Amino acid sequence: MDSKAKAKTPWLWVPTLYFAEGIPYFIVNVISVTMFKRLGMSNGDLAMYTSLLYLPWVVKPLWSPFVDIIRTKRWWILAMQLAVTAGFAALALSVSPDVFGWSLVIFYIVAFASATHDIAADGFYMIALDQKQQSVFVGIRSTFYRIASVFGQGIIVVLAGILETRMGDIPKAWSTTLLASSVLFALITLWHFRFLPKAEGAPAPDKTAADLFREFGRSWVTFFKKPGVWLAIVFMLLYRLPEAFSVKMLTPFLLDPADAGGLGLTTAQSGLVYGTVGVIALTIGGILGGLFAAKYGLKRSMWPMSMALALPCAVYLFMAAVQPASLWVVYACVALDQFGYGFGFTAYLLYMMQFSEGEFKTSHYAICTAFMALSMMVPGLFAGWLQERVGYVGFFIIVMICCLATISVTFFARRRCSS
């Protein structure tokens, strides 16, 4: 780390870097669902097309070597932030209730830029900070990523809902919201041009592209030679199956009118319920899950955590059957589910970290995160089609049946946990 990097306190760039990492992810994977639903896309098409937006995060380990061998990570961060800024502006111009194609194409471009930004940002964090600073700021980066989650899933949706009401024009409201997001991201990009330190030189000449690809290939080979690798892959694919099936249908469920089986909330109300109250409960659950696992160890924690992740999904079956009129009941149900998910997801992250230990720890963890994204993408492709055929009550019954997959893979996976 050079003197210029040391001269710029991490407080000037770590919080904004991880806020910037979160915003496009949540706009691509969450805001897109709400926007397309409000523009009239069917649940089947909505779930399929937006689930495919996970693809860049599934395959990002395949192009991560290019981020190492071409230019610097600072260059990649700034370039991808410019691309995201332009992408949001292009999305603002493409919003239409009649033609979704251009918006989807631009969302895919923003998704690839965002996934590439993730690779560069995480690598830059390890280069620009020494080990002590990395430990100090790991909580800060996590906090600001969660703030981005609240902003992306909550505040932006609430803003769009307010504009829908005031303008009386849904496409124009979402266009204005996306344009405001582009302006915000442009300001973040300018901030990083000024305050992101130059912490690295050009890629080392003694490590050629052939060397990096050889090492990249070895990381994949050694991953699939790990003891218990196929059990680990099945665990990573099925542990979150209830969430993977339901997540793309939760926003449509909140927004659809009662005669369609939904709760009939406004856009602003759905942003408050799922994107604000839900995310806060998720964050608290994650924090308490970490403390619980630290005290009892992963092996002892996996049973209660798997139950916490799976069983609260029943609140959606309850709401689909009862259709509560009180918004506070909806708040409480969503908060309970998201708290349980945050608590139970901790076991998933710790399992991946434990499985990744070894020579290629960073690369193996990146491969695990690819399976994590795949576990969300594939069920989501069919969720909307399934919901349209069985209705919301039938759909959430199927989600509850999927809880058996969570319990089953936990039963086998915990036997291989070291502690």
pLDDT at 5: 47
**Helix 55-69 vs helix 361-413: crossing angle, to nearest 10:** 150
pLDDT at 192: 95
Domain assignment present for residue 17? The answer is yes
Query: CA–CA distance from 1 to each of 66, 124, 160, 194, 241 (Å)?
Result: 22, 11, 43, 18, 42
* Nearest-angstrom CA–CA distance, 242 and 337: 11
Asked if 125 and 252 sit in the same domain, the reply is: no
Q: In the predicted model, is pLDDT for residue 64 greater than 80?
A: no
Mean pLDDT across 367-380: 89
Asked if 193 and 248 sit in the same domain, the reply is: no
Query: CA–CA distance from 159 to each of 162, 177, 270, 348 (Å)?
Result: 5, 7, 11, 33
pLDDT at 3: 46
47 membership: H or E segment, kind and range = helix 43-51
Q: In the predicted model, is pLDDT for residue 25 greater than 80?
A: yes
Write down the residue that tokens 């993977």 correspond to. 244
pLDDT for 322-373, tens place per residue? 999 899 999 999 999 999 988 888 888 888 878 887 777 777 888 888 898 8
Asked if 99 and 243 sit in the same domain, the reply is: no
Q: What is the mean pLDDT of the chain?
A: 87
Residue 202: give the domain boundaries: 1-207
* Nearest-angstrom CA–CA distance, 316 and 14: 37
Contact predicate 88/27, CB 8 Å: yes
Q: What is the CATH number of the domain that holds 145?
A: 1.20.1250.20
Asked if 105 and 144 sit in the same domain, the reply is: yes
Cα(first)–Cα(last) distance of the chain, in Å? 36
Contacts of 159 (CB under 8 A, 6+ apart): 177, 180
pLDDT at 296: 87
413 membership: H or E segment, kind and range = helix 361-413
Count of the separate structural domains present in the chain? 2
pLDDT at 282: 85
Q: In the predicted model, is pLDDT for residue 187 greater than 90?
A: yes
Contact predicate 241/372, CB 8 Å: no
- At 397, the pLDDT band (50, 70, 90 cuts) reads very high
* Nearest-angstrom CA–CA distance, 277 and 250: 14
End-of-domain residue from the set 207, 237, 259: 207
The Cβ-side half-sphere exposure at 317, using a 13 Å CA radius, reads 15
Asked if 389 and 351 sit in the same domain, the reply is: yes
Check residues 189 and 101 and name the one with the higher pLDDT: 189
Asked if 310 and 192 sit in the same domain, the reply is: no
pLDDT at 209: 65
Asked if 80 and 202 sit in the same domain, the reply is: yes
Mean pLDDT across 65-74: 80
Domain assignment present for residue 213? The answer is no
pLDDT at 4: 46
Contact predicate 274/153, CB 8 Å: yes
Asked if 258 and 193 sit in the same domain, the reply is: no
C-beta atoms surrounding 132 within 10 Å: 8
* Nearest-angstrom CA–CA distance, 381 and 247: 11
Per-residue exposure over 39-71, b if at least 16 CB sit within 10 Å of its own CB, e if not: bebebbebbbbbbbbbbbbbebbeebbebbeee
Domain assignment present for residue 198? The answer is yes
* Nearest-angstrom CA–CA distance, 209 and 229: 28
pLDDT at 419: 66
Q: In the predicted model, is pLDDT for residue 6 greater than 60?
A: no
Contact predicate 409/233, CB 8 Å: no
* Nearest-angstrom CA–CA distance, 123 and 17: 12
Asked if 188 and 235 sit in the same domain, the reply is: no
Amino acid identity for residue 317 in this structure: L
Give the pair of three-digit tokens for residue 242.
Answer: 């209830």
pLDDT at 345: 87
pLDDT at 140: 77
Domain assignment present for residue 183? The answer is yes
pLDDT at 201: 59
* Nearest-angstrom CA–CA distance, 204 and 171: 49
What pTM did the predictor assign?
A: 0.82
Domain assignment present for residue 212? The answer is no
Domain assignment present for residue 328? The answer is yes
Check residues 409 and 364 and name the one with the higher pLDDT: 409
pLDDT at 98: 81
Asked if 110 and 232 sit in the same domain, the reply is: no
Q: In the predicted model, is pLDDT for residue 205 greater than 60?
A: no
pLDDT for 84-121, tens place per residue? 999 999 999 999 888 888 999 999 999 999 999 988 88
Q: In the predicted model, is pLDDT for residue 7 greater than 60?
A: no
* Nearest-angstrom CA–CA distance, 98 and 43: 16
The dihedral formed by the CA atoms of 227, 228, 229 and 234, expressed in degrees to the nearest 10:
180
Range name among 96-100, 139-143, 332-336, 406-410 with the lowest pLDDT average: 139-143
